[in-house]
Chain A
Amino acid sequence: MSVAYEIGMGEEARPKTLMERILDRWLVKLIVVIIAVLWLVPTAGLLVSSFRPADAITTSGWWTVFDKLADSRTWTIENYRQVMNADGMGNAFLNSLAVTIPATVIPITIAAFAAYAFAWMDFRGRQVLFVVVVGLMVVPLQMALIPLLKIYTGGANAFGIPIIPDLDLSGTYMGVWLAHTGFGLPLAIYLLRNYIGSLPASMMESASIDGASHFQTFIRLVVPISVPAIASFAIFQFLWVWNDFLVALVFLGGTPDVSVVTIKLAELVGSRGQDWQVLTAGAFVTMILPLTVFFGLQRFFVRGLTAGSVKG
């Protein structure tokens, strides 16, 4: 952003030399292309490897395929066949969806309400509460695994008085939704509060003068114009939960009826990692849905990220 800004300023000040125009037009593009290529090369290698036989992957690099593109021994769909035909892969996809979608919707809903309250409602301790919530971002979720599991399996007591009842949430979808909600909320509240807080105060005032309650203002006004921010966080949360292995394994477990795609994939590799070549194909199979989501929502993604940061 800043690069484009400085170049824009120079344009008004004086006519540009040829060199500068070349730099303007090509340097930025060139850097972008170089970075994109650097990032894409390993992915491309993975894609090529996923279509190669296991023996070939161990004995030669993926770039060597370009010498023998037409050779039928170079290519195989065996890895994909192995992944797609694995017992329970379809079920694992459904499980992943059953975990991911609510674990995306729930935290966003809560975070949007909270963000509005932090930004536009006056109550005592607002700043302190907000700082505490933001501060929670630095707590690694791994620290919460065992305490949370204890609460799930046995509830929580303080001085003999039950504070949280024993809900037996371990191994249930509800349990993993709640866990993801808790782990996702601090960042969600922080991002959304920044966006919602940057909306013009005059808008809120006029809504209030027109007789709208906080709830009406939130539903009718704030949510519709916050869609870019909400959507961009939805993508973050969706990708994070979809790719999550640890939280699902701890709170949902790896039994075949509930295991999600990431856990299923880790199992495919075998007890001693001997079938690791299926990971290449598995990576692309599991990538399909996140990619669809990303491209489907990408127009929100860019807007949402920049909208909060450069306003005003």
Chain B
Amino acid sequence: MTFRPEKTWRLLAILLAFAMVAAACGNGDDDTATTSAGGDAGGGDAQPFAGEVVNVFGAFVDADADAFADTVAPFEAATGIDVVYEGSGDFETQIGIRINGGNAPDIAMFPQPGLWANFIDDMIDFNDLGVDMDQARADLSDYLVELPGQVAADTGNARDGVFGGWFRLNTKSWLWIPVPEFADAGYTVPETWDDLLALQDQILADGNTPWCLGIESAGATGWVLTDWMEDIVLRTAGPDVYDDWVSNGIPFNDPEIAKAAQFLGDVMFPEGNVLGGTDGILATPFGDQNTPMFDDTPACYLAKQAGFITGFFPDGTFGPGVDNQTEAIPFPSIDGSGDVMLGGGDLFGVFSDAGAVAETVKFLVSPEGGEGFAQAQAGYLSPNSRFDTSNYVDPFQKQQGELLAGALGAGGFRFDASDLMPAAVGAGTFWTGMVEYVQGGPDSLDDVLQSIQDSWPSS
């Protein structure tokens, strides 16, 4: 076969020309975007920051990213600032590359406070941005305002000032039950841990399986059970002991923590108590955990998972305009524990002191900062006590919002402990330890807790 050089060259030339056109089109889009932004901005003198761009980088993507665009739209219209959000599922590695590479975003939203603390030296103090911290403290609760500083201190990154703001929270202390089958079977919603254990026995006695529990999450397998532990510790030992536990003020093998693990064992280990037994716990992806509950005859009657699990439910089982087949009930109280709620949230740091950035930060911490987000995404919960709850459009969102506000007001809200602990533990041995506990059974508990404690970084 002979090659025809002219032909090949022509092909290459066409390809190259095509690419240049594509690139030009891309740039063309940029141009129109800027001009239209400029056009809007030119509208009036009321926009003090017309045409300025604020870059926000975060971990949430897709529908959440659209919701963020909704939430800043009124702010953009009022100020002329163009808030450009970029989300990446790879946020944890990307943010390090960008900051170290000198390409930090103006504002970054960290899902893990521990990660946030790593970059505290590059951040701008909220006081220097002109944020009213007294108001913020009143709005957010002492715990939330002080938590970032505490995390920074615990991770050896202590720095004077305020460097973290809260944008949104989520809640984790929820059990899920099938409706109407749960009530039809004669079961009542457990108010206390004793109720829960009694209910377990009742379900077992009826020949049914009480729990659906699945923790498989690839490299992060184990976090589902760390959430369980946290919810139980928060109730059996109380928020103060919980804080000590997070900072390793009490060791991991403290009797209080061991007690919580035994409570968890009372759910996981009894014969027939969990669908699929301990093998099922380890092999079922956390997102599929609740699915058997939607069978015509529910394969289980109880499951525990954070509020975001609704995103994993099969279509047509839960949500607006649907005949709900499941319902969330609060995690039962233990030994009279009060208003407590386990949760997580997005903590943002600021890397630029430009006027437009300061203005954006003030908007994000204001009660209005999350309104558009709340309306667009039922997963959004505001950390701000002055937030107008009529923006919660979904019943479950309202339910979460009420319990969250109650717990924040009573000082009983606690952030996910594994996200606050040093990564070696919180995203390492605590996860693997829980997996070993499932595999090893009740007798392995002492060894597991001891080995987690041994892995705590000495600093």
Contacts and interface: CB of A to CB of B under 8 A. Distances in A.
B16 A275 contact: no
Given A98-B22, A146-B101, A268 B5 contact: no
A149 B5 contact: no
Contact of A224 (B5, B102, B314): B5
A217 to B, nearest CB: 14
Given A267-B61, A271-B61, A95 B102 contact: no
Contacts, number: 138
Interface in A136-179: 145-150, 152-154, 170, 173
B351 to A, nearest CB: 13
Main secondary structure of the interface of B (DSSP, over half): helix
A102 B62 CA distance: 29
Nearest to B94: A249
B26 A274 contact: no
Main secondary structure of the interface of A (DSSP, over half): helix
Nearest to A297: B11
Given A225-B3, A267-B87, A271-B59, A146 B100 contact: yes
Nearest to B316: A55
Interface in A196-246: 223-225, 227-228, 245-246
Q: How large is the interface on A (under 10, 10 to 19, 20 to 34, 35 or more residues)?
A: 35 or more
Nearest to B12: A105
Interface string A255-288: 1011000010011111111110000000000000
A102 B21 CA distance: 11
A65 interface: no
A283 to B, nearest CB: 16
A276 to B, nearest CB: 8
Contacts of B102: 149-150, 153-154
Q: How large is the interface on B (under 10, 10 to 19, 20 to 34, 35 or more residues)?
A: 35 or more
Contacts of A89: none
Nearest to A166: B102
A254 interface: yes
A59 interface: yes
B291 A150 contact: no
Q: Which of B66, B88, B315 has the most CB of A within 10 A?
A: B88
Nearest to A259: B86
16 contacts: A55-B315, A58-B287, A94-B26, A101-B22, A146-B101, A148-B101, A149-B103, A150-B101, A152-B101, A266-B88, A269-B89, A270-B63, A271-B59, A271-B61, A271-B87, A273-B89
Given A58-B291, A269-B61, 6 more contacts: A98-B25, A105-B12, A173-B23, A249-B88, A255-B86, A266-B88
